[in-house]
Structure 1
Amino acid sequence: MKPVLIIRHVQHEGPGYLQELFDRANIPVNMICIDKGEKIPDAIEGTSGLVLMGGPMSVNDPLDWIEDEIRLVKLALAINKPVLG
């Protein structure tokens, strides 16, 4: 199975119990940590789904990565990848 891509925005908003569920189901996970300066990937095809964690920011905030994340969500939806968050 292809990994689920989790995007974490702030350290205290990790996958928590969701990670445990993925582990029990033997679903691999790749996590992008925005709070550590990691970049949003350009493609979504190598994943089985996308999970966006929370944070104090808004989609309307002028943050460097917001447009890239919106683009990735649109890509996922366009090819019927599951998106949570």
Structure 2
Amino acid sequence: MPPRARPRPKILIVLHQETSSPGRVGHMLLEEGFDLDIRRPPLGDELPCTLDGHAGAVVFGGPMSANDEDEFVRRETDWLQIPLKEN
């Protein structure tokens, strides 16, 4: 019986537009053996309560500012405490 393949570690990718992609960063992570967990908070995707099960996170920019009053911006900036605490 062949050995079981170990699951590939995941990287959380946070994007902000429907047509955005992780581009070269995503290609590099895939080449290094990571799976990508892509979330788009402005489109309703929730961010995880913990990064358990993820090897890291990459938060991309967008047309908004961290100072904007959009609800998803506030939730996302509040969420940044999670990876900072879990590091």
TM-score normalised over the length of structure 1 = 0.79
Q: Computing the radius of gyration over CA atoms, which structure comes out larger, 1 or 2? A: 2
Residue 10 (str. 1) matches residue 43 (str. 2): no
Residue 61 (str. 1) matches residue 61 (str. 2): no
**Structure 1 residue 71 displacement after superposition:** 2.6
Q: Percent identity?
A: 25
Do the aligned residues in 2 keep the contact of 1:13 with 1:54 (CA within 8 Å)? Answer: no
**Structure 1 residue 49 displacement after superposition:** 0.7
Runs of at least 4 residues off by over 3 Å = none
Alignment partners' CA distance in 2, 1:42 and 1:67: 15
Helix, strand or coil: the match of 1:65? Answer: helix
* Partner amino acid, structure 2, of 1:10: Q
Structure 1 regions of 5+ residues with no counterpart?
Answer: 81-85
Deviations 1:19-65 (A, max 9, x none): 11011111111000234321222222221111111111011101111
Alignment partners' CA distance in 2, 1:75 and 1:2: 18
Structure 2 regions of 5+ residues with no counterpart?
Answer: 1-7
Residue 44 (str. 1) matches residue 51 (str. 2): yes
Query: Relative to 1, partners in 2 of residues 1:62 and 1:71: Cα closer, same or farther, differing over 3 Å?
Result: same
Alignment partners' CA distance in 2, 1:5 and 1:57: 20
